[in-house]
A and B are shown apart, each in its own frame.
Chain A
Amino acid sequence: MATVDIRLKKVNKIYTEGDIVAGVVVVQSKGELQHQGITLAVEGIVNLQLSAKSVGLFEAFYNSIKPIHLLNYTLDIAKPGKFPSGKTEIPFEVPLKAKGNKVLYETYHGVFVNIQYQIKVEMKRSMLNKDLSKTCEFIVEYKSQESAKLKPIPFTITPETLTNIKEKGRVPKFKVKGKIDSSVMCITKPLTGELVLESCETPVKSIEIQLVRVETCGCAEGYAKESTEIQNIQIADGDVCRGLHIPIYMVFPRLFTCPTLITNNFKVEFEINIVVVFRDDYLITENFPIKLTRF
């Protein structure tokens, strides 16, 4: 059996615009290998998808749902011919440059928005044999961006600050004070802050930090905005000691987060929810929009 593989020089596969993506295509076969040429394609695509509830309505009216190509190269790295038995390495180098006046957004894997870069290698073969192919994702990050400035958000949560509650009477008396160290933060650094449960009538079951992405697809007139949870980190378990400064700490997951991105066609934004769950599973949530930057 013959196989084709791509090996990038950089271990972490992280590149910025203008970098050269270098690597080798590795062809391995037990016997001689006849082929009709090898092509290598580098592409960067923004895939937009609509949530199930809005599908149909928008697809009929708008074209903005088509994928956006940020990058698209194809090159032949080997002419039709034969490979000897064993391992053959074909080196390649591709400069990372956006198509036209487009920008290379950072890699992001979301629910409705996906920004993905990949290298695809394809070996064409004669009729009787299947073509061999292999894809390999690489990650794009911004080279430079305005660095985050500290903007601390102090907060106090009490029954009075809550909005959107149906029965005021069911809410136990409590007071949570705290701060998030900054509303603008660097994606490589953890979210930090602290929180004090100053008083609370009923026992607390858990305090959690929820990271939420807000993805918006569409243009000015009609758009679909969807919020989904990325991760939920528990910072307190059980009925915590009153008055103790509990640290808020969360590492942003790679791939699933990117610097906050606002374009004409889509938006990727993030929010933090502080969730306090009481013993009777009654929960309260406070929402903080945040801005993520690369630096």
Chain B
Amino acid sequence: MAAYEWYPRHRNYEAEKNSEARTITPASSHPLKAISVVDVKSAEKRGTPAKSFQDVPKRDFVDPLSFSDPLGTSLEGSDPLSQFAAEVAKKKSSVGLNIGGEKKGAGNENELDDSFEPWYCKKAGIIAKYTTSEKLSITTSFLSASDKEKVVIKAQTTTTVTDKVKNRLEQLDDFEEGSVQMMLNLSQQEYVSRIDELNQALIKAWNEDQRVKALKIGIQCAKLLADTNVIQFYPSKFVLVTDILDTFGRLVYERLYEKAQYIPAGSGVAVKLPENFTTDQVPETAKETCRNWFYKIASIRELIPRFYVEVALMKCYSFLNKGEYSEALKRLAIMTRGIGDPLVAIYARCYLSRVGILVAPSIRDHLIPCFEDFLFSYSQLQDDSVQNVLAMQKLEMPRYLTLFSPALDWILQCIAHRTAESTLMEVLEKCQKQCNSALLLNSLISAFKPEYVAAKAMEFIQMIKDCEDTGFPKHFLFRTLGLCLVIAHPPEDQKLAVLNEAWKPVMKLKNPTDYIICAEIWMEYVVKNFGKREINTILNDIIKHMTPDRAFEDFYPQLQSIVSKILSHVHDFSMLFSLDKFMPFIDMFQKETAKVEVCKNIVEAFSKYQLETTTDPVIINAMMFICKTMHDSVNALTLDDERRMISNLISGFVQKISFGRDFEQQLSFFVEARAAFSNLDTFLIQLIQSVNSLAIETRKVVKGNHSRKTGNFVRACAAYCFITIPSLQSVYSQLQLYLLSGQVALLNQCYSQADAFFKAAISMVPELPKTLELDGKSRSAEPFLIDYLYNFISTLLVVPDNPDTGVLYLLRGLLNILQNYTWEPSSDAKIMVYTRVIAILSATCQETYPYHINKVDSNDSMYGSDSKFISEVTNTCTTLLEEILAHLKTLNTSETQKRQSLLAMELFTTLIIHGDLQQQQLFNLTVNLWSLASKHRDSTDTRHMVRTLEYLKSKASSPGGKLFQDLVQKLPAI
């Protein structure tokens, strides 16, 4: 192939731009406003189907002018989608209440609203709280069939046939009679799994129509509740066992419901009862079956099983007569008086009220007697028998008293739910009169509506002070009260008094554990209701209590929660940081992880709530300190996510700091920030970007005409960037930032700085790693590099040559680097870049360049199309062209032909745009390239070529397109 020389075509960019520009016609209407409703009819058509979803009464008259557009109407109020969502949510909430298979009756009065915390919410908490490591025992006949079988098999091996028969008979007997056996030494986990087995056995027996067996299992389960061995586990046991009883009750109810099909008047077909059936709809057979169940239960000898099983079947009373519920509930309520053990008794009452509130929420006559009986029998807690049990089980009184809390809370919640204040007053009075105990008061406070408690906060505090100390710790009371006051506020005039009164006893608490659980709650009350001074005082007090013996080390979670409570309510950070106890409080976090966690919380809150930028030195100082703590926690072992999060948080903080027009101060702040947080790549990038935008801001202010001072300042900015960039880890980011900063410097007429940036970038290119880590995947860096280089060489067009160096010094430097760069094998990246370089060089030869930077003289005005300069450039082009053609030649094997076509097409396009086709050899080259490109093309290439051809044709038909006409004729058809 002969050597080709490059001749750039002379172009007049301005003229080209003008000839290709479209004519602009003013728009009469906004394109996005297209659906505006001018036509009322069509609006209605579109509006009605949407409206039919809502129950909006149809308007008779529609004023066409006031009629809003149909999209608006259908979205107004409740759009159909959100309406459906609301319905689903409603259903869900009702399903939620129905858990446990109970269906509630209709009527508002019979429904429980959301303010009532249902039992299933409490269950998990109870099980988690009351645990034991003691060994438990279980007495039943229905378990461990597998164990028994094993024994039998063993026995069989040595016995005769008669023994075998006997054995089997015994087994049958076991099954029939339910020979009771006791399992000892079960761990809590084993115990729970045994109870679960019982549950399975119950369901299995029921499904196998063995109703008597199912009843027996139910009774045996209930018996477990009479056993108070391992008393600290009792509440959890109650939860587990009553679950089984609930299942049993549900099974019986469903069965009766199934049986209770009735024949409605006037039809011959039996139908199921409606959900809200009345007793006269229930057929006699079902009633009879139901009665039989209750007769059966009434003959259970022992009190506790009889009680529990009847309560479990409570819902079945709905098949009998009206008023049966309230009778039964009342009777069962007083039946609990027979239970000697106070703990067992209160839990029995709890179960009664739990079932009662589900089957008949409106009936509450039984609740007050339940509660009064408890008050009456409260004295029992001091009795010998209880004390003996405690002594035997080595349980202290306070611990024992907390066992009562769940049941008592529940009963009081049932009482307090939707009752008049007078009832609450009565209850309160009764409590004070009969047994003014801390345990009771605690449950009262947590059960009553917070608003009520808040209104009478002072009285409650007085009561807390007065109540007898029977072992139930008083700080629990203050904690519970605090929880109420956080939700509802006491009257304005009492707020401070409440705090003072409540805080005094809390302050006196010696045990740091007791103290901190109160302080944690009360902090929220303080931040919600008071200001700076009070918060500071409380913080001071907490510090005082936590410092001795380094007590704070044990309470990081609580301290952390205090900080987050402060942060969620105090959004005035200058106030917060001006508290002289806040930072000392933060200093208490001496464990690295806890400290960093707290710092993160603070910075997060800061970037969330600090809406305006600030210059407050207090904030800056404190935040710098906090961020520094976070920053210093980053080390080689830190996870990427953690590192990213911290970087983002610090960046967020830095962005919030702005000194307005005081750019120098801003820069010095950035300098400080760089010094403080030098470890985080992301953050440094953020800094460099900020500094660059600072330089641009400056340019904007002076409108491009830098004075000496601003000139110096922007140079300082450039210098800042220049020394910061090398400290980045990622070469790719460095490259990007060098280019960006170079562009900014150029824009600010800092030529030597820009040169330095570009030089640095060029020298950086060989160091770019071959792969980049992106979104956790490693990818080849080449596509990024190509894009980067395109951007870079486009920038180089406007960079004026440094008079001290040769012509196009930077571009030559880049070409040298590219020449020696180790590209990926079988990659055409170099050639692609070369074609673009040819294009840029062609532009360099023009009299005026397609773009300029304001106030920067580019090479066009510097050289004024000097022929020496142009011949230098075209020489370079020629060299590049040779390189490209040589490369094309190597691609003639069958695997590489595809690439050859692509590159040929690329070069062809460059040629027809930038090349001077009047030169015969270039013209020939163009034609050859076209045929090369069309040789091994696929469909996409074909389309590309067709489009290119069309472009050529349009060029040919425009004035002065003679050359292109020739070309089109010469091009072989595709």
Determine if A11 is an interface residue (Cβ-Cβ < 8 Å). Answer: yes
Checking B301, B340, B341 against A233 with a beta-carbon cut-off of 8 angstroms, the contacting residue is B301
Q: Which residues of A contact B377 (CB under 8 A)?
A: 241, 244
For the complex, what is the distance from the CA of A139 to the CA of B340, rounded to whole Å?
A: 40
Known: A233-B306, A236-B339. 16 other contacts (CB 8 A): A11-B288, A207-B338, A231-B301, A234-B338, A236-B303, A236-B340, A237-B339, A241-B337, A241-B342, A241-B379, A244-B337, A244-B373, A244-B376, A246-B337, A253-B298, A253-B299
Residue contact B299 to A247, C-beta cutoff 8 Å: no
Q: Which residues of B contact A134 (CB under 8 A)?
A: none
Residue contact A234 to B385, C-beta cutoff 8 Å: no
For the complex, what is the distance from the CA of A250 to the CA of B303, rounded to whole Å?
A: 11
Residue contact B335 to A249, C-beta cutoff 8 Å: yes
Interface string of B212-232 (1 = CB under 8 A from A): 000000000000001000000
Q: Which residues of B contact A243 (CB under 8 A)?
A: 376
Residue contact A236 to B338, C-beta cutoff 8 Å: yes
Q: Which residues of A contact B337 (CB under 8 A)?
A: 236, 240-241, 244-247
Residue contact B385 to A239, C-beta cutoff 8 Å: yes
> Contacts A233-B301, A247-B331, A249-B335: A238 and B380 contacting too (C-beta < 8 A)?
no
Determine if B542 is an interface residue (Cβ-Cβ < 8 Å). Answer: no
Select from chain B the residue with minimum beta-carbon distance to A233.
B301
Give the most central of B331, B338, B341, B344: most A CB within 10 Å. B338
Q: Which residues of B contact A11 (CB under 8 A)?
A: 284-285, 288
For the complex, what is the distance from the CA of A281 to the CA of B616, rounded to whole Å?
A: 82
For the complex, what is the distance from the CA of A177 to the CA of B303, rounded to whole Å?
A: 20
For the complex, what is the distance from the CA of A66 to the CA of B344, rounded to whole Å?
A: 53
Interface string of B466-490 (1 = CB under 8 A from A): 0000000000000000000000000
Q: Which residues of B contact A246 (CB under 8 A)?
A: 337-338
Number of A-B residue pairs, CB cutoff 8 Å, is 81
A94 to chain B, nearest CB (A): 21
Determine if A101 is an interface residue (Cβ-Cβ < 8 Å). Answer: no
A247 to chain B, nearest CB (A): 5
For the complex, what is the distance from the CA of A240 to the CA of B341, rounded to whole Å?
A: 7
Residue contact B339 to A238, C-beta cutoff 8 Å: yes
> Contacts A11-B285, A253-B295: A238 and B341 contacting too (C-beta < 8 A)?
yes
Select from chain A the residue with minimum beta-carbon distance to B333.
A247
Chain A 160-196 interface residues, beta-carbon cutoff 8 Å to B: 190
Checking B304, B373, B385 against A237 with a beta-carbon cut-off of 8 angstroms, the contacting residue is B304
Residue contact A241 to B301, C-beta cutoff 8 Å: no
Q: Which residues of A contact B298 (CB under 8 A)?
A: 190, 233, 250-251, 253
B227 to chain A, nearest CB (A): 11
Determine if B541 is an interface residue (Cβ-Cβ < 8 Å). Answer: no
Interface string of B921-951 (1 = CB under 8 A from A): 0000000000000000000000000000000
B162 to chain A, nearest CB (A): 31
Determine if B421 is an interface residue (Cβ-Cβ < 8 Å). Answer: no
Can you sample 30 A-B contacts with CB below 8 Å?
A11-B284, A11-B285, A11-B288, A12-B288, A204-B340, A232-B301, A233-B299, A233-B301, A233-B306, A234-B306, A234-B338, A236-B340, A237-B302, A237-B303, A239-B340, A239-B383, A240-B337, A240-B338, A240-B339, A240-B340, A244-B373, A244-B376, A244-B377, A246-B337, A246-B338, A247-B338, A249-B331, A251-B298, A251-B299, A253-B298
Q: Which residues of A contact B303 (CB under 8 A)?
A: 234-237
Q: Which residues of B contact A203 (CB under 8 A)?
A: 385
For the complex, what is the distance from the CA of A239 to the CA of B344, rounded to whole Å?
A: 12
Interface string of B299-315 (1 = CB under 8 A from A): 10111101000000000
For the complex, what is the distance from the CA of A11 to the CA of B289, rounded to whole Å?
A: 10
Residue contact A241 to B380, C-beta cutoff 8 Å: yes
B307 to chain A, nearest CB (A): 9
A121 to chain B, nearest CB (A): 22
Residue contact B301 to A237, C-beta cutoff 8 Å: no
Residue contact B301 to A234, C-beta cutoff 8 Å: yes
For the complex, what is the distance from the CA of A254 to the CA of B299, rounded to whole Å?
A: 11
Q: Which residues of B contact A240 (CB under 8 A)?
A: 337-340
Select from chain B the residue with minimum beta-carbon distance to A244.
B337
A139 to chain B, nearest CB (A): 12
Determine if B85 is an interface residue (Cβ-Cβ < 8 Å). Answer: no
7 interchain residue pairs of minimum CB distance? A238-B340, A236-B338, A251-B298, A241-B377, A234-B303, A239-B340, A237-B303
For the complex, what is the distance from the CA of A190 to the CA of B294, rounded to whole Å?
A: 12
Q: Which residues of B contact A253 (CB under 8 A)?
A: 295, 298-299
DSSP class of B's interface residues: helix, strand, loop or mixed? helix
Determine if B75 is an interface residue (Cβ-Cβ < 8 Å). Answer: no
For the complex, what is the distance from the CA of A169 to the CA of B357, rounded to whole Å?
A: 50
Q: Which residues of B contact A236 (CB under 8 A)?
A: 303, 337-340
Q: Which residues of B contact A235 (CB under 8 A)?
A: 303, 335, 338
Determine if B334 is an interface residue (Cβ-Cβ < 8 Å). Answer: yes
A197 to chain B, nearest CB (A): 10
For the complex, what is the distance from the CA of A238 to the CA of B304, rounded to whole Å?
A: 10
B298 to chain A, nearest CB (A): 4
Interface string of B318-350 (1 = CB under 8 A from A): 000000000000010011011111101000000
Q: Which residues of A contact B331 (CB under 8 A)?
A: 247, 249
Interface string of A205-235 (1 = CB under 8 A from B): 0010000000000000000000000011111
> Contacts A238-B339, A240-B340: A245 and B334 contacting too (C-beta < 8 A)?
yes
For the complex, what is the distance from the CA of A46 to the CA of B303, rounded to whole Å?
A: 35
Residue contact A247 to B376, C-beta cutoff 8 Å: no
For the complex, what is the distance from the CA of A204 to the CA of B339, rounded to whole Å?
A: 11
For the complex, what is the distance from the CA of A237 to the CA of B294, rounded to whole Å?
A: 21
Chain B 590-628 interface residues, beta-carbon cutoff 8 Å to A: none
Select from chain B the residue with minimum beta-carbon distance to A195.
B338
Checking A207, A238, A241, A251 against B295 with a beta-carbon cut-off of 8 angstroms, the contacting residue is A251
B336 to chain A, nearest CB (A): 10
Select from chain B the residue with minimum beta-carbon distance to A12.
B288
Q: Which residues of B contact A249 (CB under 8 A)?
A: 331, 335
Checking B284, B294, B376 against A241 with a beta-carbon cut-off of 8 angstroms, the contacting residue is B376
For the complex, what is the distance from the CA of A247 to the CA of B330, rounded to whole Å?
A: 11
For the complex, what is the distance from the CA of A186 to the CA of B295, rounded to whole Å?
A: 16
For the complex, what is the distance from the CA of A240 to the CA of B298, rounded to whole Å?
A: 21
For the complex, what is the distance from the CA of A247 to the CA of B380, rounded to whole Å?
A: 19
For the complex, what is the distance from the CA of A240 to the CA of B304, rounded to whole Å?
A: 13
For the complex, what is the distance from the CA of A243 to the CA of B434, rounded to whole Å?
A: 14
Q: Which residues of A contact B342 (CB under 8 A)?
A: 241
Select from chain B the residue with minimum beta-carbon distance to A207.
B338
Interface string of B264-292 (1 = CB under 8 A from A): 00000000000000000000110010000
Select from chain B the residue with minimum beta-carbon distance to A247.
B334
Checking B285, B288, B335 against A247 with a beta-carbon cut-off of 8 angstroms, the contacting residue is B335
Q: Which residues of B contact A232 (CB under 8 A)?
A: 301
For the complex, what is the distance from the CA of A241 to the CA of B380, rounded to whole Å?
A: 6
A233 to chain B, nearest CB (A): 6
Q: Which residues of A contact B288 (CB under 8 A)?
A: 11-12
A22 to chain B, nearest CB (A): 15
Select from chain B the residue with minimum beta-carbon distance to A255.
B295
Q: Which residues of A contact B383 (CB under 8 A)?
A: 239
B351 to chain A, nearest CB (A): 15
Chain A 251-279 interface residues, beta-carbon cutoff 8 Å to B: 251, 253-254
A208 to chain B, nearest CB (A): 8
Q: Which residues of A contact B294 (CB under 8 A)?
A: 251
Residue contact B340 to A241, C-beta cutoff 8 Å: yes
For the complex, what is the distance from the CA of A239 to the CA of B340, rounded to whole Å?
A: 5
Select from chain A the residue with minimum beta-carbon distance to B228.
A238
Chain B 139-169 interface residues, beta-carbon cutoff 8 Å to A: none
Select from chain B the residue with minimum beta-carbon distance to A190.
B298
Select from chain A the residue with minimum beta-carbon distance to B344.
A238
Give the most central of A233, A234, A236, A238: most B CB within 10 Å. A238
Q: Which residues of A contact B304 (CB under 8 A)?
A: 237
Q: Which residues of A contact B341 (CB under 8 A)?
A: 237-239
A12 to chain B, nearest CB (A): 5
For the complex, what is the distance from the CA of A251 to the CA of B297, rounded to whole Å?
A: 10
For the complex, what is the distance from the CA of A247 to the CA of B335, rounded to whole Å?
A: 6
Residue contact A234 to B339, C-beta cutoff 8 Å: no
For the complex, what is the distance from the CA of A243 to the CA of B377, rounded to whole Å?
A: 9
